[in-house]
Amino acid sequence: MTRRKAKPAGATLAKHPCVYILASQRNGTLYIGVTGNIAMRVMLHREGKGSAFMRKYGVKHLVWYEFHQDFGFAIEREKRLKVWRRKWKLTLIEQMNPGWEDLYESIQMWAPMD
């Protein structure tokens, strides 16, 4: 029998599969990604440690996210969103975030940075 260390409170949330959309500004350039730690991933994007695309277009504002039960579903959702028409993506964002607020501050409170 192997013993596992107890996970710190909130550790499971940090590894929770999440699909997200970042934008350069309202109706601006969009980036769709998937991660197991949304707070950490967005922080890296904001610090310019994301892809070259992110740095080139200044895509740093978290405008939409969606949690999933497992990575398989999250990856499939990401792939589907990437082929959606732009208008559909904008509608999806506005359903959750009509003011296109940067949601990064709100997720920092409940998503551990480990």
For residue 1, is it within any domain?
Answer: no
Residues 6+ apart with CB under 8 A from 24: 57, 58, 59, 60, 61
Whether pLDDT at 9 is above 90: no
Q: What pLDDT was estimated at residue 110?
A: 58
- DSSP letters, 15-67, are T--EEEEEESSTTS-EEEEEES-HHHHHHHHHTT-S-HHHHHHT--EEEEEEE
For residue 45, is it within any domain?
Answer: yes
> pLDDT tens for residues 64-86?
999 999 999 999 999 999 999 99
**The pTM of the whole model exceeds 0.85:** no
Q: What pLDDT was estimated at residue 50?
A: 72
Whether pLDDT at 12 is above 80: no
The tally of domains found in the chain comes to 1
Q: Among candidates 69, 67, 63, which has minimal Cα distance to 32? A: 63
For residue 96, is it within any domain?
Answer: yes
CATH number where 24 lies: 3.40.1440.10
For residue 31, is it within any domain?
Answer: yes
Residue 59 pLDDT level (bands cut at 50, 70, 90): very high
> pLDDT tens for residues 22-53?
999 999 999 999 999 999 999 999 888 877 88
For residue 86, is it within any domain?
Answer: yes
Q: What pLDDT was estimated at residue 112?
A: 54
Q: Which domain holds residue 52?
A: 13-108
